[in-house]
Amino acid sequence: MKNLYLLGATGSIGQQVLEVIRGKTDFKIKSLSFHSNIALGRKIIAEFHPEYVSVGDLHNMLILKDEFPDVLFGYGEDGLMKAATYSNDGGYLVNAVVGSAGLKPTVAAIKKKRNVLLANKETLVMAGEIITRLVRASGVILLPIDSEHSAVFQCLKTGNNHEVARIILTASGGSLRNLSRDKLKKVGIKEALRHPNWQMGAKITIDSATMANKGLEVIEAHFLFGLGYEQIETVIHPESIVHSMVEFQDNSIMAQMSLPNMRIPIQYALYYPERVKNNFPQLRLETIQNLSFFPMNFERYPLLRMAYKAGRMNGIMPAVYNAANAAAVQLFLDGKISFLDIETIVETALNDIKNIENPSLEDILAVNKKVKGRILN
């Protein structure tokens, strides 16, 4: 039996985590959090009987407290921290929160010697060095819940780390992949949110369209696998069947394939190191017939180029990239800026902020706040 502490239970990943464990006796949800979707949150509490629940604000907490007198409740940042560190039973933090809010709870859980199943890529992008150092010191397991990183993790098992030549992250190209840069000027919110292969939260769907998601994933991979940026490449693969690849020094490439279904990497992380049966649709390559791959175009996707730049600069620059992009995407989703303004905003932030080498967690959180504040106010 694995104890789970699930942050972001109402989100796209959180929901699929619950789907994977629904009806299984191998897992117990000890605590969970969600931000504002009280209608869905209420159903989840009734079904999974967590001991502790954190919600976004006091108002929603008081409503739920009345309905579930046996459950302990918290709210806001403090509640999220308590959900991540609830009880002393070890177990697994499943971090499926979107955005920088996921960083501090991850740090706190690792310090408590809790294993981490990480969908919240922002955690590693913002504080990759701190997190990997803490993971080593605490001796906990950190497993990715991201299709690309799960693929790389699985492929790496076929060789030794020092034999890796490069990893190749695949990118579908997102919702706007068939549009020229000229056409991108007039793209609306609805169009940008229509991803061809994956049903995901709004933020990551926009990031897929701008390729910032691949940028965040490049930085995530750098920290997760301890590889130099020159060893991390990206390729466009519209079918989203090959989730990523590892090339070893003997020129042999290992690829992990499946239908695009996040429940597969989620299940892999939840049951690791075991692989268990499921009833997901099977991949039949003879049905798909063709897989295609195209070189990445850094002119078309400047946000990917900027991510490599921020990653190589290291220090606080990945956090600056992440914060500026998050704030810009929020403005775009609020209808306040155009699609191409997102990249201009990120570029400006990267030029304006002076780097700090070996930043502390406080430095990182401060720059995150400062960059977002400048863009949003």
Q: Which stretch binds ligand NAD (CB under 6 A): 10-18, 172-180, 305-313, 365-373?
A: 10-18
Q: What values do phi and psi take at 120, rounded to 5?
A: -70, 85
User: Minimal CA–CA distance to 171: which of 268, 288, 303, 281?
Assistant: 303
User: Minimal CA–CA distance to 195: which of 175, 212, 176?
Assistant: 175
Q: Which stretch binds ligand NAD (CB under 6 A): 98-106, 155-163, 281-289, 332-340?
A: 98-106
User: Minimal CA–CA distance to 242: which of 262, 253, 258?
Assistant: 258
Is 159 a residue that touches ligand NAD (CB under 6 A)? no
- Which residue's structure tokens are 């940028």? 215
Return the number of the residue (97 or 375) whose C-beta is nearest ligand NAD: 97
Compute the distance between CA of residue 4 and CA of residue 301 in angstroms, rounded to an integer.
37
Q: Which stretch binds ligand NAD (CB under 6 A): 58-66, 93-101, 154-162, 322-330?
A: 93-101
Degrees, nearest 5: CA angle 129-230-180: 105
CA–CA distance from 147 to each of 15, 222, 255, 325 (Å)? 16, 16, 12, 21
Three-class secondary structure of residue 39 per DSSP? helix
Give which of Mg ion, ligand NAD, none residue 148 binds (C-beta under 5 to 8 Å, depending on kind): Mg ion
Is 217 a residue that touches ligand NAD (CB under 6 A)? no
Q: Which residues of the shown chain bind Mg ion in the complex (CB under 5 A)? A: 146-148
* Residue from 18, 169, 200, 211 binding ligand NAD (CB under 6 A): 200
Return the number of the residue (8 or 315) whose C-beta is nearest ligand NAD: 8
Compute the distance between CA of residue 320 and CA of residue 368 in angstroms, rounded to an integer.
6
Return the number of the residue (14 or 318) whose C-beta is nearest ligand NAD: 14
* Minimum CB distance to ligand NAD, residue 55 (Å): 9
Return the number of the residue (44 or 353) whose C-beta is nearest ligand NAD: 44
Residues that bind ligand NAD (CB under 6 A): 8-14, 34-35, 80, 96-99, 101, 119-122, 146, 198, 200-201, 203-204, 262
